[in-house]
Amino acid sequence: MTRVLIAGIGNIFLGDDGFGPEVVRRLPPLADPAVRVTDYGIRGMHLAYDLLDDWDALVLVDALPDRGAPGELRVFRAEPDTTAAGLDAHAMDPGAVFAAVRALGGTVPPTVIVGCQVASIADGIGLTAPVVAAIEPAVTAVESVLADIQHSHNPGHRQEV
């Protein structure tokens, strides 16, 4: 079994930064017990400690500031060797989380980020219209990334269509 952690990260009190938690909330229930979906919010150390378990892959769902037009989705591999200059136990920057995992003696699994360009991260609850429009495509993207991960770890595994 391929163990995959799908982590929604972001602060729901900062507008579009709540994208990750909203996407994982909308993922359909998964029948695979080797896949865990969790809304980490802003709990970076919680995620770092959970990454000390033996995961084959990590999928981060997050808001992406300054990376394109609002609502634009990007799927890319993260560089787990990223270092964080000042480690903040509450930071949800992937570099800070990866640094915390290494500081705790763990190894960061291969990581894919499903991200959405934000329109606003001003104080307030609720996503802007372009980011809301990206939620369902992001759910589809997460499902596709998960299928790719499972297929690459189990090439003989046949998926039902």
Q: What is the mean pLDDT of the chain?
A: 88
Q: What are the tens digits of pLDDT across the range 19-63?
A: 999 999 999 998 899 999 999 999 989 999 999 999 999 999 999
Q: What predicted TM-score, i.e. pTM, was given to this entire model?
A: 0.88
Q: What are the tens digits of pLDDT across the range 64-112?
A: 987 789 999 999 998 766 544 443 433 567 788 888 899 999 999 999 9
Candidate from 39-43, 83-87, 143-147, 149-153 with smallest mean pLDDT:
83-87
Residue range 132-147: average pLDDT?
98
| HEC sequence for the chain | CCCEEEEEECCCCEHHHHHHHHHHHHCCCCCCCCEEEEEEECCHHHHHHHCCCCCCEEEEEEEECCCCCCCCEEEEECCCCCCCCCCCCCCCCHHHHHHHHHHCCCCCCCEEEEEEECCCCCCECCCCHHHHHCHHHHHHHHHHHHHHHHHHHCCCCCCCC
Query: Is 4-153 in CATH node 3.40.50.1450?
Result: yes
Tokens for 120, please give them. Answer: 């606003």
| HEC sequence for 123-150 | CECCCCHHHHHCHHHHHHHHHHHHHHHH
Q: What is residue 70's predicted lDDT score, i.e. its pLDDT?
A: 96
What share of the chain in percent tops pLDDT 90? 73
Distance CA 23, CA 96 (A): 22
